[in-house]
Structure 1
Amino acid sequence: MNDSKPRDANLDPITKAPGAHPVGTGVGAAVGGMAAGAAAGTVVGPVGTVVGAAVGAVVGGLAGKGVAEAIDPTAEQVYWKDNYAQRPYVEQGTTYDDYGPAYAYGVDAFSRYPDREFEDFESELHRDWGGQRRGSSLEWDRARPAARDAWQRVKENSGMPPSTR
């Protein structure tokens, strides 16, 4: 008898396709689509604004879903576990267990803020690091370079335009 639990397919609520990323979909809807749709709809008046925001939310949600699905957190974890020790900010005597949560935090940050620059939301990440560190010995000032490194890597691999800063 096989006692293993079935793997959650994380089905898309609309298409039923496996691997849905509700956070990415929500981010796309909230950030890009609604604003663009509302702005376009405003040209025809208040009703157009409401309709435009709804249509824009759907389009933006699909864009956000695409960004989130481009990120494979497991592959990122494997990459950083194999490569963290060569990074210039890694201090002697620390381990992957210290840096791993910061890398995961950076990957998650990109999935939440794919259209923003790291510096634009860093204060939020700093504020919330205590609840995300999962046993890491690093304070934010030492975790920040790893989080930013992971954020930058997934941004570059996602096809998003490079930073203008």
Structure 2
Amino acid sequence: MSDSNDKLNRDPITGAPGSHPVGTGVGAAGGAVTGAAAGSLAGPLGAIAGAVVGAVVGGLAGKSAAEVINPTDEEAYWHAVYEQEPYFVAGHTFAHYGPAYRAGWEARVAGTDWDTARAEWARKWDREHAQGGLKWEKAQPAVKAAWDRANRRYVQETGY
């Protein structure tokens, strides 16, 4: 597993604990787009103000989701259990399944619902993981398992 230092998620620049650049960035980007769209009803200045407010709110939401899901813990968990999963194929190693698990939990941290995550990865999996030896049909159950686990943890931790 991981030691307590892994849970600090230190900022790569400052070393401060509690850094979640991926979750914060994804949340900020989504919030900025949503805020800009909502603010555009008030004209160009409204769109700018909406983007700024949306980025801040989205960044905080993304950081909260990222704090619940620790990538080090998730990888250790899946590394320990992947061979017991019903979709496991003899001869495949964690190197085959690892990217699928990562895609699943990162999609949940980003706030992506399962249907959206599945559609997105169905379009790009084989292109991005052509050398991995695990085609989308075989990777999808692992992506879903990791998304489900991350979702359960998020709901349990946050209540929603």
Which category of TM-score, normalised to the shorter sequence, fits these structures?
0.7 to 0.9
**Distance apart, 1:134 and its partner CA:** 8.6
Number of corresponding residues: 149
Kept after mapping to 2: 8 A contact 1:24/1:61: yes
Find the counterpart in structure 2 of residue 50 from structure 1: 48
Given the alignment, which residue of 126, 129, 137 partners 2:125?
A: 129
**Distance apart, 1:18 and its partner CA:** 2.9
Kept after mapping to 2: 8 A contact 1:110/1:155: yes
Q: What are the superposed Cα offsets for residues 50-98 of structure 1, whole Å, 9 maximum, x if unpaired?
A: 3233122112111111212222111111111111222211123433332
Kept after mapping to 2: 8 A contact 1:24/1:65: yes
In structure 1, C-alpha distance between the alignment counterparts of 2:37 and 2:136, rounded to whole Å: 38
Letter in structure 2 aligned against 1:20: S
Find the counterpart in structure 2 of residue 20 from structure 1: 19
**Distance apart, 1:158 and its partner CA:** 1.6
Superposition map of 1:148-163 within 5 A: 148-159=144-155
Letter in structure 1 aligned against 2:150: V
Given the alignment, which residue of 69, 72, 83 partners 2:70?
A: 72
Find the counterpart in structure 2 of residue 82 from structure 1: 80
In structure 2, C-alpha distance between the alignment counterparts of 1:77 and 1:141, rounded to whole Å: 21
Find the counterpart in structure 1 of residue 6 from structure 2: none
Q: 1:123 to 1:52 in 2, by over 3 A?
A: closer
- The root-mean-square deviation of aligned C-alpha atoms, in Å, is 3.1
**Distance apart, 1:126 and its partner CA:** 2.7
Q: Which moved more, 1:91-100 or 1:74-83?
A: 91-100
Find the counterpart in structure 2 of residue 140 from structure 1: 136
Q: Which runs of 5+ in 2 are unaligned?
A: 1-8
Q: 1:78 to 1:157 in 2, by over 3 A?
A: same
Q: Which runs of 5+ in 1 are unaligned?
A: 1-7
TM-score (norm 2): 0.73
Kept after mapping to 2: 8 A contact 1:98/1:135: no
Find the counterpart in structure 2 of residue 104 from structure 1: 102
**Greater helix proportion:** 2
Q: 1:82 to 1:158 in 2, by over 3 A?
A: same
Q: What are the superposed Cα offsets for residues 19-59 of structure 1, whole Å, 9 maximum, x if unpaired?
A: 422221122122246525753x567x323443233122112
Find the counterpart in structure 2 of residue 10 from structure 1: 11
**Distance apart, 1:149 and its partner CA:** 0.7
